[in-house]
Amino acid sequence: MPGWEPFDECRTWHVDKMESYGVRKQARESNVMLVTPCPLSSNVFLSPNIPGWGYNAGTCCNSNTTIDDIGFIREIRDLFRSHFGVSNLPMYAVGFSTGGMLAEALMCYNIISKAASIEGTLTLPPGLDGAFQACDNKFDRGKRDGLSLMKVHQLGDWVVPYDGSPNAIISYLRFPSVEEDISKWAERLGCESDEREKVATIGAATIEKYPRCPHSNSVYLVEVEGRRHRWPGLDCETEDPSKLCTSKAVFDFFHGHPLTR
């Protein structure tokens, strides 16, 4: 799922960016169906004034909060389950920026079983710490089996800061920290330890995992050195184990494979 854009670039995201990021290649090789639900444009006359195209993932990033993107994705899931006649057809989500925020929200609403949030965080209303409580209120703790969440985040991201931005002047750019967010997910998914263990170091990326999570659940954090708000780990055309390919890591995560190069 794409991040916020000043123009309607959903087709560009689905065709070009998903190709250059390696997502389409990974989907083809994994024999999975790749669906891009496009966000709508904001109503710039509403407050807060959020121009451009973005999902309503809570406090970010669409002015028209009546847009129900969570319900939209639920309808897509139900449509495919009906079409294939499979009531438990698995559905995963990967998103960048506000797309990652929506992916996390879909986990809160029990619509998907695995989410990969790239440079995103949880933004359900009312935002910040209230987003965590809102997620807890929706999350079905009785359905913990096989649930997993992965976050990939640059340490110097200046749009969605790793350390959060609770005092940002612009309200829709107030985000909780990555550490707060990932620790809450570990708690929801029943992981026993508050401490993560290092799984691997791949180039500028450090991959960490929460140990002792029940029911085949898993929670991963990939910290990437960098100071940009962009999809990291674009070295996907080489087999060099010292280069991070984020799309490969995401699909390894979806398939339950070890997160190595």
Question: What would the pLDDT profile of 60-82 be if each residue is shown by its tens digit?
Answer: 999 998 999 999 999 999 999 99
The whole-number pLDDT of residue 29 equals: 93
Q: What mean pLDDT value characterizes the chain?
A: 92
Burial class (CB in 10 A: 0-12, 13-18, 19+), 177: middle
Answer yes or no: pTM beyond 0.85: yes
Closest CA to 67 of 75, 58, 77, 76: 58
Q: So what's the pLDDT on residue 239?
A: 72
For 14-23, 108-117, 207-216, which range has the lowest pLDDT when averaged over its residues?
Answer: 14-23
Q: Are strands 205-209 and 197-202 parallel, antiparallel or unpaired?
A: antiparallel
Inform me whether the pLDDT recorded for 261 exceeds 60.
Answer: no
Can you give the pLDDT at residue 208? Answer: 97
DSSP-derived 3-state class of residue 48: coil
Instruction: Give domain status of residue 4, yes or no.
Output: no
Q: What is the mean pLDDT of residues 153-179?
A: 94
Q: Categorize the per-residue pLDDT at 166 as very low, low, confident or very high, splitting at 50, 70 and 90.
A: very high
Integer Cα distance of 54 and 8 in angstroms: 9
Provide the residue range defining the domain that includes 172.
10-255
Structure tokens given for 235: 């070295």
How far does CA 221 lie from the centroid of its chain? Answer: 11
Domain of residue 171, CATH code? 3.40.50
Whole-number pLDDT of residue 260: 62
Mean pLDDT value of segment 114-135? 97
In a domain, 30, yes or no: yes
Q: Is residue 3 part of a domain?
A: no
Task: Please indicate, yes or no, if residue 1 is contained in any of the structural domains.
Answer: no
Per the domain annotation, does 2 fall within a domain? no
Predicted pLDDT at 237: 78
What distance in Å separates the CA atoms of residue 59 and residue 102, rounded to the nearest whole number? 11
- Copy the structure tokens of residue 224: 């990437």
For range 130-149, the mean pLDDT: 92
Q: Domains in the chain: how many in total? A: 1
Mean pLDDT throughout 30-53?
88
In this predicted structure, what is the pLDDT of residue 48?
Answer: 83
What would the mean pLDDT of 110-126 be, rounded to a whole number?
A: 97
Has residue 261 been placed in a domain?
no
Give CB contacts under 8 A, 24+ apart, made by 72-80: 72/37, 73/37, 73/102, 73/106, 73/111, 73/112, 74/109, 74/111, 76/35, 76/37, 77/111, 77/112, 80/33, 80/35
Residue-wise pLDDT for 170-201, tens only, equals 889 999 999 999 999 999 999 987 889 999 99
85-113: average pLDDT? 95
Check residues 10 and 207 and name the one with the higher pLDDT.
207
pLDDT at 53: 92
- The first and second tokens of residue 248, run together, are 């490969």
Higher-pLDDT residue of 144 and 236 is: 236
Nearest to 125 by CA among 215, 53, 65: 65
* Higher pLDDT, residue 137 or 170: 137
193 burial level (CB within 10 Å; 0-12, 13-18, 19+): exposed
More confident site: 87 or 70: 70
As given in the structure block, the two tokens for residue 19 are 């190709």
Give the CA distances from residue 143 to residues 93, 109, 231, in Å, rounded to whole numbers and listed in that order.
18, 11, 31
- Is position 248 within any domain? yes
Buried b (16+ CB within 10 A) or exposed e, 62-94: bbeeebebbebbbeebeeeeeeeeeeeeebbbb
What pLDDT is stored for residue 210 in this prediction? 96
Which helix (H) or strand (E) segment is 198 a member of?
A: strand 197-202
CA 50 to chain centre: 21
